[in-house]
Amino acid sequence: MPNALFSVPKAVNETVLSYSPGSPERSRLLKTYEKMLGEEVDIPMFIGGREVRSGSLRECRPPHDHQRVIGRYHWGGKEHVEQAIDAALAAHASWSSMPWFERAGIFLRAADLVSGPYRDKINAATMLAQSKTVHQAEIDAACEFADFLRFNVQFMTEIYAQQPESSPGMWNRMEYRALEGFILAVTPFNFTAIAGNLPSAPALMGNVALWKPADTQVYSAWVIMEIFRKAGLPDGVINLVYADGALVGDLVFKHPDFAGLHFTGSTSVFKHLWKEVGANIDRYKAYPRIVGETGGKDFILAHPSADAAEVATSMSRGAFEFQGQKCSAASRAYVPASLWPQVKQHLVDDVKSFKMGSPGDPSNFMTAVIDERSFDKIASFIEYAKSQKDAEVLVGGGYDKSKGYFIEATVVATTNPNFRTMCEEIFGPFLTIFVYEDARWSETLDLINRTSEYALTGAVFSRDRYAVDEATRRLAFAAGNFYVNDKPTGAVVGQQPFGGARGSGTNDKAGSILNLLRWVSPRTIKETLVPPADYRYPFLG
Ligand code: NAD
């Protein structure tokens, strides 16, 4: 062990590259994209450092070009899940006792691989697998992922530096042990960065993990795993298995060494998993940590003093980038009658100007939604809106899945503030707007607060500071990430720690010290410097 208290490099957010026409990054990335589009890769699971091929193959197809196969992955069964748990537990002793700075070195190296030599590959994989535009891939797969890794290393040292006071005659210390057992990381399709962060944040703190990604994100998960291995992550620390969620849950939640769940995905799946954990509580050696970031019904509220162009732009970007498939995407909006004509005009013009198509053409603002199930669900919401008397489709409303799962950006105006699409998460390019009378600003705050089960993100637009203050206070529990004069998407690690409350999750704020605290079990050590040698206290004399 070195005789030194090391400090780590100060974390700085990765610069988002522009990919503007003629830039070197643009031609490099598009070349990588075309190359990967033309290949059919074989994607194994990773268990105990081994590449595992079950022979039971499933296809990876780009959502915007679903007739094309870009890879085949090996589907796992019961034995693979069991092997992954065993491999994780076998790695626990050496990994959890490895000096923290060695773990830091691995993940700092992973960050530099992501932002350096792997930047094009991880961005191209995200464009292909999840149909993200160049810009959406860059802010997610390259920048946010590198940020998670670098900031988490810094936060880890801040946690370790927190030490108790010591009165005279004693020395008190706190060590931040890993959890005893293994972590299950269950990740969503929509962010490559989140997929990488959910297993690696606990691993950084000394834990071992089984990682189950979403089926539609396997292709980019495979690139993440390649980076972790290249960074020197020891065998068995993170084990990547592609298998049925219910099967994984069944085996993991009955295991006595299950120590924690790190989940991001829908509210209904999270609630189901929490129930499973509860039902099996008597089996576990310790109380498992449960961290879940889930759905949203995110709002934009405009005050009569707001600027119409700013409000409309926040809707165009906040509701439709990545086809509205961000948990933070604006999906309900409240606009005062006095401002509505201008907002409507600007928004409808914007939406009509959107280009939609393959991410291989960087001039497209929107691409396809993730899969057929999602496509059908969103299309059914569109048909529902078209059929209702209290709603009107202002723009969009078309969809076509012949080549890719393309759905037009759709804006619906409703006269019913409790219209179904004002309340339920749709997870697609679908924004519903309720126009309120200017005089009803105050009631509108209450309405927003009680309309949905979620409380993830929300935004207020106003040039009147009293209104900003009132909305901030009255909507204190309506969003875990609240924006003033900004769209409700685009949280940056280290700057806007992310997570919501109510039905939106446990609000453990990914990309902050609060999240890492869930993956440690502190041990307090008290040492008495000169122990007493006589039991009699002075007062007994
Ligand atoms: P999903 O709930 O369908 O899937 C998430 C993961 O859970 C996937 O890996 C899936 O295979 C797995 N899963 C599904 N059923 C399971 C079961 N019975 N047992 C174990 N695992 C199971 O979500 P998704 O479609 O991948 O992602 C979209 C959802 O994620 C949206 O609701 C969105 O709001 C949410 N999300 C939230 C945040 C956040 O930070 N709050 C971030 C991203 C996405």
- pLDDT > 90 fraction of the chain, expressed in percent and rounded: 99
Beta bridge partners of 334: 301, 434
Flag whether pLDDT at 493 surpasses 80. yes
Q: Give me the DSSP letters along 487-537.
A: -S----TTTS-B--EETTB----BTSHHHHHTTEEEEEEEEESS--S----
The domain at 24-294+505-523 falls in which architecture?
A: 3-Layer(aba) Sandwich (3.40)
Give the position, in ligand 1's atom list, of the atom nearest the Cα of 504. Answer: 41
> Looking at the annotation, which residues are catalytic?
293, 327
Report whether residue 110 contacts ligand 1, using a CB cutoff of 6 Å.
no
Q: Where are the domains of the chain?
A: 24-294+505-523, 298-484
Please tell me the distance from the alpha carbon of residue 319 to that of residue 504, in angstroms, as a whole number: 18
Please tell me the distance from the alpha carbon of residue 457 to that of residue 134, in angstroms, as a whole number: 24
Q: What's the pLDDT score for residue 263?
A: 98
Site to substitute for ligand 1 among 81, 131, 189, most atoms within 8 A of C-beta: 189
Closest residue by Cα to residue 417 from 271, 322, 536, 297 = 297
CA of 436 to the centre of ligand 1 (A): 34
Please tell me the distance from the alpha carbon of residue 498 to that of residue 480, in angstroms, as a whole number: 7
Report whether residue 275 contacts ligand 1, using a CB cutoff of 6 Å.
no
CA of 188 to the centre of ligand 1 (A): 5
pLDDT, one tens digit per residue, over 406-434 is 999 999 999 999 999 999 999 999 999 99
Report whether residue 508 contacts ligand 1, using a CB cutoff of 6 Å.
no
Q: What's the pLDDT score for residue 373?
A: 98
The residue contributing the CA closest to ligand 1 atom 42 is 327
Q: Give me the DSSP letters along 268-282.
A: HHHHHHHHHHHHTGG
Q: Give me the DSSP letters along 185-244.
A: EE--SS-HHHHHHHHHHHHHTT-EEEEE--GGGHHHHHHHHHHHHHTTPPTTSEEE----
What average pLDDT score do residues 68-87 get?
Answer: 98
Q: Which amino acid is at 420?
A: R
The residue contributing the CA closest to ligand 1 atom 23 is 265
Flag whether pLDDT at 247 surpasses 70. yes
Flag whether pLDDT at 1 surpasses 70. no
Beta bridge partners of 290: 261
Stated pTM of the model? 0.98
pLDDT, one tens digit per residue, over 188-219 is 999 999 999 999 999 999 999 999 999 999 99
The domain at 298-484 falls in which architecture?
A: 3-Layer(aba) Sandwich (3.40)
For the packed helices 145-161 and 100-115, what is the interaxial angle rounded to 10 degrees?
A: 160
Give the DSSP H/E element, type plus range, for residue 447: helix 441-451
Integer angstrom CA distances of residue 516 from 201, 218, 509: 7, 25, 9
pLDDT, one tens digit per residue, over 114-169 is 999 999 999 999 999 999 999 999 999 999 999 999 999 999 999 999 999 999 99
Integer angstrom CA distances of residue 151 from 145, 156, 268: 10, 9, 30
Task: Report the largest interatomic distance among the alpha carbons of the chain, rounded to a whole angstrom.
Answer: 93
Report whether residue 295 contacts ligand 1, using a CB cutoff of 6 Å.
yes
The β-bridge relationship of strands 57-60 and 71-74 is antiparallel
Average pLDDT, the chain: 98
Site to substitute for ligand 1 among 264, 328, 504, most atoms within 8 A of C-beta: 264
Flag whether pLDDT at 494 surpasses 80. yes
Of 53-57, 132-136, 437-441, 537-541, least confident by mean pLDDT is: 537-541
Q: Which amino acid is at 24?
A: P
Report whether residue 365 contacts ligand 1, using a CB cutoff of 6 Å.
no
Kindly tell me the burial class for residue 188, based on how many C-beta atoms sit within 10 Å of its own C-beta (0-12, 13-18, 19 or more). buried
pLDDT, one tens digit per residue, over 248-265 is 999 999 999 999 999 999
* Residue pair 302/311 in contact by the 8 Å Cβ criterion: yes
For 122, the 3-state DSSP assignment is: helix
Residue with tokens 């606009």: 335
Give the position, in ligand 1's atom list, of the atom nearest the Cα of 272. Answer: 18
Q: What's the pLDDT score for residue 2?
A: 81
pLDDT, one tens digit per residue, over 274-317 is 999 999 999 999 999 999 999 999 999 999 999 999 999 999 99
